[in-house]
Structure 1
């Protein structure tokens, strides 16, 4: 099965004599072409959820599969390979390398897998043109606006053509207008490329761009159908 699936996933931490549950029996499935939002207050478990989805953290219970492969069966090197090839991350801040040009921000992702080909360069330019940065290829991060830096980060997340995109508060550092532009770009771009995408956000104004909205409270995930109908 393509996409990402959580099956009764829990994550527990031991704090002295007390066991703290960050995720509690979470089940969710996101298919290719779906753009899903997860909202909730700070400390509700969103970061833990995203870390497990990104194969950065192992669950205490339950199972996570990506494209039908159970993450529980993979060794550390296999997990690292899966993260590089099948998961694209978009973070709160763009996390661009200050001494690399916009084009090289994408090409360095390919460099991590080996040599850079002419096809890689063509694809990088295609992605940057799609996000409106075709005329910024030789610019450095400090020459870009906040919105342009985040557009670069979106293109970089797609550089290895991953099946799963995970966005952690991708508009946190942007004003309202730029935030709408970035999430609209995410929604249309990911659907066009048939990616399964999950966005964690505090900004409920952005939910109209998503197919489904879930709420995380005290480690439990609930589908908010009423939010779905309200924003459509």
Structure 2
């Protein structure tokens, strides 16, 4: 069973008397262990696509299926649980809590979901060690480099063992070296933990780490065979 499916999804915004079609009949399937990229110019519909994939926005038409569940049929109060337990988000900036150290950045996710156990703490430490942050557990965001903050954000996204990771321009605030490191780590963790991952990016240098590349233009999504240069 696919992790995520878009079935003929469209999204129309009303602007006064006018309508703007942000997504136009988008269909997509993402499997376990698959890391895909979505590229396209500003205003092409990428942000709307990611918001719908993350259960933050409802489509005007079509279906979005996550782990076999139609998101449109889930009550709004239950969608919050879906976002917490089944979706991991990585944003353009790390969005770390300034007064929490690196370890607690991850444990706060478990506190939101319920009680923090000894196993949760061990898992958080394991994730941080995998991402090269084993020596930074007690450091606060202001004591970290930009790359370290973004790596912490990656670890946090995986903390609740979600089915899918959604990354919105995760390298936008990083230099080239750190950007490559971050995308490599997302790809590595996706494969290691058999998750699905979608990255929206404008930086086509990062596409070599993705299994598939899709191009968004005027709200339409198509597989871009020419952009895939996976190592």
Q: Sort the TM-score into its range (normalised by shorter chain).
A: over 0.9
Report the counterpart of residue 10 of structure 1 in structure 2: 10
Q: By how many angstroms is 1:133 displaced?
A: 0.2
What are the ranges of 5 or more consecutive residues in structure 2 without an aligned counterpart?
A: none
Q: Which residue in the other structure is 2:205 paired with?
A: 205
Q: Does 2:149 correspond to 1:168?
A: no
Cα deviation for residue 231 of structure 1 reads: 5.1
- The equivalent residue for 1:109 is 109
Match of 1:137 in 2: 137
CA contact (8 A) 2:11 2:23 kept: yes
Matches of 1:163 and 1:115, distance apart in 2: 21
| Residue of structure 1 in register with 2:195 after alignment | 195
**1:95 matched to which residue of 2?**
95
Q: What is aligned with 2:26?
A: 26
Cα distance in 2 for partners of 1:123, 1:190 equals 16
Mapping 1:66-77, distance limit 5 Å: 66-77=66-77
Task: Report the counterpart of residue 40 of structure 1 in structure 2.
Answer: 40
Partner of 1:126: 126
TM-score, normalization: structure 2?
0.98
**Unmatched 5+ stretches in structure 1:** none
Contact 2:211-2:230 within 8 A present in 1 as well: no
Root mean square deviation, CA, Å: 0.8
- Residue by residue over 1:66-112, the C-alpha shift from the partner in whole angstroms, topping out at 9 and shown as x without a partner, is 01100011001111111000000000000000000000000000000
Secondary structure of the structure 2 residue equivalent to 1:59? coil
Q: By how many angstroms is 1:2 displaced?
A: 3.6
Q: Distance in 1 between matches of 2:147 and 2:110?
A: 24
Partner of 2:225: 225
TM-score, with normalisation over the residues of structure 1? 0.98
User: Shift of the alpha carbon at 1:43?
Assistant: 0.6
SS at match of 1:100: coil
State how far apart, in whole Å, the 1-side matches of 2:100 and 2:2 are: 34
2-side partners of 1:231 and 1:116: how far apart?
38
